[in-house]
Amino acid sequence: MAHAVSGAEAKALRLDSSGTEIEEIEIRLLLEGIHLCYGYDFREYTLNPLRRGIFTAMAREHVPTVSAYQDLILHDASCMQRFLSTVGVNVTSMFRDADLMRAVREEVAPMLRTYPSSRVWIAGCATGEEVYSFAILFEEEGVLDRCTIYATDLNEDMIAVARLGSYPLERIRRYEEAYRESGGRGSLADHYAVVGRSARFHRSLQSSVTWARHSLVGDGSFNDFHLIVCANVLIYFRDSLQQHAHRLLYDSLIRGGYLALGKRESLLSCPDRDHYEQVRDGVNLFRKTRW
Ligand SMILES: C[S@@+](CC[C@H](N)C(=O)[O-])C[C@H]1O[C@@H](n2cnc3c(N)ncnc32)[C@H](O)[C@@H]1O
C-alpha cells in the first residue's frame, strides 16, 4: 500500500540523494564538535577553503567520511593539531606585499621614531617569515630597539617554527628581490647567518619580538598598538566574523595608529571603516583617525 511521505521523510530522502547537503551537515557537526571539545571556533570561516582543508586532512588520516573524521579528531588531540595546520592555510612568505612594506617604511617608521617606545602587533603570523620581514625593515629604519613586536597565531606549532628563525637557505635566497622591491637598504643576506643548508636570522631581530598564541575569533584585545599587521587571515572569515575581527583590531589601535591588511582584503566589513583613512592609493595601509 502506498503511503504519504511526511515532511521529515521527504527531507531525509532529499538529503540521501544529495551528498553535498549531507556533507555540509557533517561539516557543521565537525566544527561544533571541535569547538566544544577543543575551543577552536571555525564555524564562521568561509566554507570552500575550509572544505578543501577538511578533505586534505581526511586524505592524510585515511578516513572516508567527514563523520569518521569527526570521530577521530574528537578522540585524538594530535589529529586536532594536524588539522590546525591544514585548515589554517599557513602559506606565507617574506616581503609578500612590496608596496605595503615600502609604505610602512616611508609612512609608519617615521611616526614610530617620534615615540620613545612603540608596539606592533602582527596577527596570524604563521611560521614567522612576515615577522622577520618587518623586524628587518624596522632595524634598517633604526626603530627596532624601541619597538615591541607581538607576533601571534592561532596555531602553536606555527609559532614554534617561527621562534627558531631558521629556514631553508634556498627559499630565503629567493626573497632577495622582494626585499629590494620593498625598499631594502642592503642585502637580505646581511640579516642571517648560513648554517649548513639553513638561513638563521640574527638573534638581534628577535630581541624585540614576543611570540604568543592568540585567536582573532575567541580572544580579546591585549594592548594598544601603533601598528597592526593582519594580512591574509580575514580573507578566510565570513562577513560576520570579519566584522568581529575588525572591531578587535580597531579597538586595539591607538588614535593615529596604522592597520595593514593583505592585498585581497579590505575595510568593507569593518564597522568602523569611516574612522580610517587610506594612506596610499592601491595599498592596504589605513590610519585610524578617531578614538
Ligand atoms: C595564510 S596565513 C597568513 C600568514 C601571514 N600573515 C602572511 O600574510 O603571509 C593565515 C594564518 O592565519 C592563522 N589563523 C587562522 N585563523 C586564525 C585566528 N582565528 N586567529 C589568529 N590566527 C589565525 C593561521 O594559523 C595561519 O597561520
CB of 284 shorter than 6 A to ligand 1:
no
The answer to whether residue 96 scores a pLDDT higher than 50 is yes
The answer to whether residue 243 scores a pLDDT higher than 50 is yes
CA dihedral over 173, 262, 213, 28, signed as positive or negative: negative
What's the pLDDT band for 12 if we cut at 50, 70, 90? very low
> What would the pLDDT profile of 113-131 be if each residue is shown by its tens digit?
999 999 999 999 999 999 9
Residue whose CA lies nearest to ligand 1 atom number 11: 124
CB of 155 shorter than 6 A to ligand 1:
yes
CA distance 90 to 155: 9
Q: Can you tell me which atom of ligand 1 is nearest the CA of 96? A: 9
CB of 158 shorter than 6 A to ligand 1:
yes
DSSP β-bridge partners for residue 276: 288
| Torsion of Cα atoms, 52 then 132 then 209 then 137, to 10° | -130
Looking at the chain, the whole-number percentage of residues with pLDDT higher than 70 is: 93
Q: What's the predicted TM-score (pTM) here?
A: 0.91
CA distance 244 to 239: 9
Instruction: Over range 218-238, report the average pLDDT.
Output: 96
Q: How far is the CA of 7 from the centre of ligand 1 (A)?
A: 43
> What would the pLDDT profile of 100-115 be if each residue is shown by its tens digit?
999 999 999 999 999 9
What's the pLDDT band for 152 if we cut at 50, 70, 90? very high
Output the pLDDT for position 19: 52
Distances (CA, A) of 233 to 40, 126, 140, 156, 238: 15, 10, 27, 16, 11
Of residues 129, 152, 157, the one with CA closest to residue 219: 152
Helices 156-164 and 77-87, interaxial angle, to 10°? 70
Residue whose CA lies nearest to ligand 1 atom number 15: 88
CA distance 50 to 88: 8
CA distance 124 to 88: 9
Instruction: Over range 168-192, report the average pLDDT.
Output: 97
Is 151 within 8 Å of 122 (Cβ atoms)? Answer: yes
Residue whose CA lies nearest to ligand 1 atom number 3: 232
Q: CA 138: distance to chain centroid?
A: 21
> What would the pLDDT profile of 247-271 be if each residue is shown by its tens digit?
999 999 999 999 999 999 999 999 9
> Which of 44, 154, 219, when mutated, tests ligand 1's pocket best, judged by the most ligand atoms within 8 Å of its CB?
154
DSSP β-bridge partners for residue 149: 120, 209
CA distance 263 to 164: 27
Of residues 284, 102, 129, the one with CA closest to residue 185: 102
Phi and psi at residue 255, in whole multiples of 5°?
-65, 130
Is 109 within 8 Å of 101 (Cβ atoms)? Answer: no
Residue whose CA lies nearest to ligand 1 atom number 25: 88
CB of 120 shorter than 6 A to ligand 1:
no
Pairing of strands 276-278, 285-288: antiparallel
Please, which residues have CB within 8 angstroms of residue 53's CB and are 6 or more apart in sequence? 83, 86, 87, 88, 89
Output the pLDDT for position 195: 97
Helices 19-38 and 77-87, interaxial angle, to 10°? 120
DSSP β-bridge partners for residue 201: 192
CB of 265 shorter than 6 A to ligand 1:
no
Domains and CATH numbers, the chain: 7-87 (no CATH), 98-166+202-288 (3.40.50.150)
